Amino acid sequence: MSSFSVNTFIGLFKQNFPKCIQGYHLVNSDPIKESVWEAINTQIFSASGCKVFSSSDGSHAPGSDISCTLGGISNKSTKLEQDIFNMSSYRLTKVCGSDNYGDITTILAEINKRKNFQYYSIIARNEESKSHNIEYYWYLIPGDHCLMTPETYTWRPMYGKQGKNKGVQIGWETDTKDCGSKMKIVFNMSSQLWITIAKKPMEEFIVSSTTISKEKKYSYLQLVDIIYNQTHKQKME
């Protein structure tokens, strides 16, 4: 475990997160997701003095995406809906599925075995349908936080409620904790673990936030022309 904490870099994190988000939306109207967040997060860490040793460069391999001064980082992107956000996690086909339901002790051991990082770095967005703005929140949540730990919950089989799967086990699910946090494993989605987290109990882990217009300001061509003209002007001076 690194001797550095988030508080070591918090001032620069707060400054550089909005700047990077603004920079992205100068040329992009699409919301920030997945590998784009990893690239942006890497820039924020580096610009804030938090040294980046390696990154997965958009790979879908499970576990740590960025290795930095803070330790291993698992990048996640999600959309806030009614103060709840959902995150996909590990595929668990080796220990459970529609042909082999598995036992929960083995399943939880497999989940914990794959957790090779110290923090979840999550960008959560709030998009209002009638607004041109996107609110972004950056969370750095300890990987061992109780709501991110499967043993916190009580697990039970999840059964289908209609159609051909009615009454058939289709996965595993948990009880609900702390304003709506829970977990589930869905067999027909590659036995993927899904984590549902309520915003309220995680507010202490919001590192920075910003609201940005999703209407892009420049095209790539315009940016090149601007940079070229500035460089040419400097040489002439």
**Which residue would you say has higher pLDDT here, 39 or 2?**
39
Residue 192 near residue 89, CB atoms below 8 Å: yes
For residue 58, pLDDT over 70 is answered with: no
Residue 230's pLDDT band (cuts 50, 70, 90): confident
Q: What is the pLDDT of residues 87-98, one digit of tens each?
A: 999 999 999 999
Q: What is the CA radius of gyration of the chain?
A: 21
| Residues 43, 83: Cα–Cα separation, whole Å | 28
pLDDT on residue 136: 96
pTM: 0.90
Residue 3's pLDDT band (cuts 50, 70, 90): low
